[in-house]
Amino acid sequence: MVRFLLLFALFYCSGSLYSQQKQSIDSINKLYVQGLNIPQDSIVALFQNNAENARKISYKLGIADAYFQLSLVYGYQGNYEESTKNSIEAIKIYENENKLDRLADYYGEMGYSLKYSDLPKALQYMQKGKAIAETNNFENELKDIYNNYGVLKEINNELDSALFYFNKGLEIKLKLNDTIGVPYSWSNIAGVYGLQENFPKSREYFNKSLQQRLLWADSLGIAENYTQLGEVFLAEQKWRDAIPLMHKSLPISLKKQYQNLTLYNYQKLTDIYKKLNNADSALFYFEKYATLKDSIHGLKIQERISALNIEFETEKKENQILQQRAQLAEKDLEVRRKNSFIFGSLGLALILGLLGYLFYNQQKLKNRQLQKEGELKSALAKIETQNKLQEQRLRISRDLHDNIGAQLTFIISSIDNLKFGFTDISEKLNQKLGGISSFTQQTIYELRDTIWAMNKENITFEDLQTRIANFIENAKNASEKTDFSFNIEENVDETHIFTSVEGMNIYRIIQEAVNNALKYASADEIEVNISAKETAYNIEITDTGMGFDPESTPLGNGLNNMKKRAREIGGTLQVKSSKKGTSILLNLPK
């Protein structure tokens, strides 16, 4: 009986100790990395020790959480290779443990960490996390995933989509009273307004974010906000107003070792002082920028050189030992001269072999370096060509918007002035003028759609969903008696890529079908449904209006244009109509 009680007490104590250790590990893993006011090396050591402590008690989730915290720390330091390694280790454990909420969160964070090094891969990971969180309605994870997905959209110059996801994330954060996360959403929204040149709105949101972060003492967020407010002044060409803000950000980024932000501040200060013709200050900050950039981007090369130097010194010392042995052997007794000669020859052969091996390795390293330089030059030339093409597209779209759009707006204004400026105008002429005004307004809408397509090299179903949703929203305002619905089935890959020409033709076909249903069919309900088969996508537009007889009714320009657009993108268009309504089916091979 006594033995049983001792065993029970021992088991109870060990269980209690395990529980306490788990609590301690979890509390450290829940620390908010950006808010830790200790050196970066200490933060890394803190989570490395926590991972080791979790490993000692076989606490797998504790190990995974520590890995993920390390990935965040390395990401802020600009060490993306270590950040990615730790994220992958964390994700492996979450998959094995079937922790879907954490898996969604860390797929999203892993995508976010790859945003500058591999954007397609970043989008792939982010969409994976987004799908898991949306399927299971993980609001706590979705608030951050939507926010970070918006950042990827902004980097990809999809500003409307970026603003859409930033606001979705902000809505959930406000609902959950996430006082830490809300300022990040405000900052991101402010950034989009800045890119859209709405500077007062951008400054307003950055200041909201800064005030909240000052209360919370978020050092990383405060430094970023100061830099971002400075960038708004830079965009407005108010160079002197930007300088104090950059100088407020720089000491924080230096102290907290936020290498990428420090590098960016140096670059911006260099540009500002160039604009102000202050050569001394511009040179000072450029040297700072160049030194830090080399230290970040040349790290791997330095490590390899260091390893080669160690190898070379080791071989050199071995050669010296062999030579000393040979010299000692030569001074030995006459009876051992023969052996000394043999050892000397062997030593010389070994030296020659080592020197040849070293020369071969150096030559191999040099060839590899030349190959890398050639690949880098090719990549830079390709990027430069793509940038020039994108700049040309943006210039053409800007000219269309600024010149032709302004001229069309002037025509509308002139027509309205004619209608209201002459009281004795005839009703027939008034109708004619009204028709011209409506046609011109429609031309402006089509011009905006064309500009939207020109600004994109590729268009996805997700882009089409956003654009069509906006179009249907406008159609709802124009026809309040008609119910609209837009549906995409779950088996449709929202990331499927179309060329801008294909995407524009799909959008025009849907737009024409909806307009026809509104103008001619007097439909009570209009539906747009997108589904996927094994070899094709089907886009069907149906209405409950008064149909027509396709056999006896001649096809108008609208339907003929839709069929022509379908042929141009390799698809087919089927039109079915009866007294109960009309169905238009666009079939697109995958």
Greatest mean pLDDT range, 57-66, 81-90, 309-318: 57-66
**Stretch 88-114: mean pLDDT, rounded?**
82
Cα 454 to Cα 97, 170, 390, 432, 451: the distances in Å are 46, 30, 9, 33, 5
Q: Is 281 exposed, middle or buried (0-12, 13-18, 19+ CB in 10 A)?
A: middle
pTM to 2 decimals? 0.42
Q: Treating both helix axes as pointing N-terminal to C-terminal, what angle do 139-155 and 182-195 enclose, rounded to 10 degrees?
A: 20
Q: Regarding the domain delimited by 458-589, which CATH topology (the fold level of the hierarchy) does it fall under? A: Heat Shock Protein 90 (3.30.565)
Distance CA 22, CA 55 (A): 11
- Paired tokens of 457: 């090299």
Q: Is 386 exposed, middle or buried (0-12, 13-18, 19+ CB in 10 A)?
A: exposed
256, 220 Cβ separation under 8 angstroms: yes
**Each residue's pLDDT tens digit, 417-462:** 666 666 666 777 777 777 676 667 667 766 767 776 666 778 888 8
pLDDT value for 152 = 92
Phi, psi of 39, rounded to the nearest 5 degrees: -60, 150
In the chain, pLDDT over 90 holds for what percent of residues? 24
* Confidence band of 584 (pLDDT split at 50, 70, 90): very high
Q: Is the pLDDT of residue 202 over 80?
A: yes
Q: Is the pLDDT of residue 92 over 80?
A: yes
Distance CA 550, CA 357 (A): 82
Distance CA 529, CA 151 (A): 29
**Each residue's pLDDT tens digit, 459-480:** 888 888 888 888 877 777 767 7
Which segment of 262-276, 296-310, 497-511 scores lowest on mean pLDDT? 296-310
Q: How many CB atoms lie within 10 A of CB 260?
A: 16
State how far Cα 519 lies from the chain centre. 41
Distance CA 468, CA 475 (A): 10
Q: What angle do CA 423, 426, 430 make, to 5 degrees?
A: 85
Which segment of 40-44, 126-130, 211-215, 414-418 scores lowest on mean pLDDT? 414-418
pLDDT value for 566 = 94
3-class SS at 496?
Answer: coil
In the chain, pLDDT over 70 holds for what percent of residues? 78
**Stretch 22-26: mean pLDDT, rounded?**
88
- The terminus-to-terminus CA distance of the chain in angstroms comes to 75
**Identity of the amino acid at 111:** G
Cα 289 to Cα 263, 265, 274, 357: the distances in Å are 6, 9, 14, 39
Q: Locate tokens 């837009």: which residue?
A: 486
304, 362 Cβ separation under 8 angstroms: no
Count of alpha carbons within 13 Å of 150, Cβ hemisphere only?
A: 26
**Each residue's pLDDT tens digit, 324-381:** 665 665 666 676 777 767 877 787 888 888 888 888 888 888 888 888 877 777 776 7
pLDDT value for 473 = 79
Beta bridge partners of 414: none
189, 163 Cβ separation under 8 angstroms: yes
Q: How many CB atoms lie within 10 A of CB 140?
A: 15
Beta bridge partners of 485: 527
Beta bridge partners of 487: 529
Query: Mean pLDDT in the chain?
Result: 80
CA 388, 394, 397, 398 dihedral sign is negative
514, 545 Cβ separation under 8 angstroms: no
Domain residue extents for the chain:
333-455, 458-589
Q: Is the pLDDT of residue 504 over 70?
A: yes
pLDDT value for 422 = 64
Non-local CB neighbours of 590 within 8 Å, separated by 6+ positions: 496, 532, 535, 536, 537
**Identity of the amino acid at 407:** Q
The string of DSSP letters for 130-167 reads: HHHHHHHT-HHHHHHHHHHHHHHHHHTT-HHHHHHHHH
The residue that leads in pLDDT, 301 or 242, is 242
3-class SS at 544?
Answer: coil
Q: Locate tokens 């709802």: which residue?
A: 476
Q: How many CB atoms lie within 10 A of CB 7?
A: 10
Distance CA 174, CA 581 (A): 44
**Stretch 151-179: mean pLDDT, rounded?**
91
Phi, psi of 493, rounded to the nearest 5 degrees: -80, 105
pLDDT value for 227 = 92
SS (H, E, C) 72-99: HHHHHHCCHHHHHHHHHHHHHHHHHHCC
Distance CA 363, CA 342 (A): 32
Beta bridge partners of 589: 536
Q: Locate tokens 């790859």: which residue?
A: 114
pLDDT value for 306 = 44
Q: Is the pLDDT of residue 540 over 80?
A: yes
Which segment of 18-32, 108-122, 370-384, 405-419 scores lowest on mean pLDDT? 405-419
CA 79, 81, 84, 88 dihedral sign is negative
* Confidence band of 304 (pLDDT split at 50, 70, 90): very low
Q: Is the pLDDT of residue 2 over 90?
A: no
pLDDT value for 246 = 92
Count of alpha carbons within 13 Å of 28, Cβ hemisphere only?
A: 24
**Stretch 45-53: mean pLDDT, rounded?**
90
Non-local CB neighbours of 18 within 8 Å, separated by 6+ positions: 57
pLDDT value for 403 = 55
Q: Is the pLDDT of residue 520 over 80?
A: yes
Q: Is the pLDDT of residue 109 over 60?
A: yes
pLDDT value for 5 = 41
**Stretch 215-234: mean pLDDT, rounded?**
87
Distance CA 421, CA 504 (A): 39
